[in-house]
Amino acid sequence: MFKKRHLLIALALAGAGAALQLTRGTASETPTLPPAYAPATRDKDGLIAAAGLVEAVAENTQLGSPTSGTVQKVHVKVWDKVKAGDPVITLDDRDLAAQLQVQLAGVVAAEATAERADDAAKRWTGIKDSGAVSAGDLLAYQVAAKEARARLALAKAQVDQTRVLLDRLVLRAPIDATVLQVNVRVGEFVAAGLKAPVVLGDIARLQIRCDLDEQLAPRMRAGLPAKGYLKGESSRVGGGERAIPLKFVRIEPYVIPKVSLTGGSAERVDTRVLQVIYQFDRPADRAIFVGQQMDVYIDTTADAPRK
């Protein structure tokens, strides 16, 4: 009897104890862990953030073709450094080359004709006897010689023209630059004015084009310093300083619609951005490529230096 009472009490105590123990496990909060890779972190107040895109200084040259034709030879590869005037692409020149042969032959023929007419004119002009040739005939010989010389000059000019046209089939680099893209292969057709067959850019120095939301635009001033964090570099081994100091270049005077990157067919733009250009020197210890994205923090607390 006495024992049973104790058993009951022990059972109740055990039940309550187990329940109390269960309450501990269920009320816990999941801890907030830092992200696996350190994000670009603000270290002070007064910073405004922007999305940046790395591009070549003085923008990229989309090299165009003045004429249509098939590609005969591609002189460059991606990464090649070209000097101004170096050939980049040669278009098919067989029709003009054939024409040139004909025209060169024409020059030889015109030369022969001119020589003969000249000779006749000289011979008849040299005769002292005034009765041997009439004044009319003499004039005719002299005009014929002049005409033959003019035809020779014409034939030579046509050859020069063809040579210039032939030269125009060779696309040359207009500036000292690095080849960023080669979009054609030998045998492909290049239409005048369409897709740029080759993209050139000066990538010795890079600049960064920052998109600043129009609502942040009032806080932007010329000359503000900034720091950039390359996307995808959070996993950088060694944990060195990620931030790249940026030098102010200019503010684009025209606010443009933000380029949305969804790739949808019915793309609509809902915000406008102020574009700000910054420049930076290539860091020696890492590779940076044109087209990479960067998180940019612009320091609005700094005094903007007057130019």
Partner 1 sequence: MYRLALNMLFGDRAKLAMLLCGLAFSALLMAQQTSVFFGIMSWTYTPVHNIRARIWVSDPMVEQANDAKPLRDTDLYRVRSVDGVAWAAPLHTSFVQARMQDGNFKLITLIGLDADTFAGAPATLSAGRIEDLRLPNTVIVDEWGAQLMGRPVVGPDGKETTVPLKVGDTFEVNDLEARIVGICKVRRAFTGGPFVYTTYDRTKQYTLGARRTLSFMLVEPQPGVDASALCDRIEADTGLKAWTSDTVIWDWSDRSLARNTFWWFWKNTGIPFSFGTAVALGLFVGIAVSGQTFYSFVLENLKYFAAIKAMGAGMGVIARMLLVQAFTAGLLGFGLGVGMAQAIGRAMIEKGMPPFVMFPQIFWATLALVLGISLVSAVIGIIKVSRVDAATVFRG
Query: Which positions touch partner 1 (CB under 8 A)?
Result: 1, 5, 8-9, 11-16, 18-20, 22-24, 26-27, 29-43, 45-51, 211-213, 215-216, 219, 231-232, 234-235, 258, 260-264, 267-268, 270-271, 273, 295, 297
In the bound state with partner 1, the residue whose beta carbon lies nearer, of 25 and 253, is: 25
What the block records as the tokens of 112 is: 């022969």
Q: Mark out the alpha helices in the chain (DSSP H runs).
A: 2-26, 94-126, 135-168
Cα-based distances in Å from 194 to 64, 150, 191, 198: 8, 41, 6, 12
In the bound state with partner 1, the residue whose beta carbon lies nearer, of 27 and 135, is: 27
Least distance to partner 1 from the beta carbon of 230, Å? Answer: 9
What the block records as the tokens of 94 is: 């067989």
Contact in structure between 215 and 272 (CB atoms under 8 Å): no
Q: Would you give the distance in Å from CA 208 to the centre of its chain?
A: 13
Least distance to partner 1 from the beta carbon of 100, Å? Answer: 52
Distance, CA of 26 to CA of 24 (rounded, Å): 6
In the bound state with partner 1, the residue whose beta carbon lies nearer, of 40 and 173, is: 40
Least distance to partner 1 from the beta carbon of 236, Å? Answer: 11
Least distance to partner 1 from the beta carbon of 51, Å? Answer: 6
Classify strands 47-63 and 256-257 as parallel, antiparallel or unpaired. Answer: unpaired
In the bound state with partner 1, the residue whose beta carbon lies nearer, of 45 and 129, is: 45
Burial class of residue 244 in the structure, from the number of CB atoms within 10 Å of its CB (0-12 exposed, 13-18 middle, 19+ buried) = buried
Least distance to partner 1 from the beta carbon of 65, Å? Answer: 34
In the bound state with partner 1, the residue whose beta carbon lies nearer, of 68 and 260, is: 260
Q: Is 219 helix (H, G, I), strand (E, B) or coil?
A: helix
Least distance to partner 1 from the beta carbon of 29, Å? Answer: 5
In the bound state with partner 1, the residue whose beta carbon lies nearer, of 51 and 140, is: 51
Distance, CA of 289 to CA of 17 (rounded, Å): 64
Q: Is 252 helix (H, G, I), strand (E, B) or coil?
A: coil
Least distance to partner 1 from the beta carbon of 214, Å? Answer: 8
3-state helix, strand, coil in the chain (%, to 5): 30, 30, 40
In the bound state with partner 1, the residue whose beta carbon lies nearer, of 89 and 244, is: 244
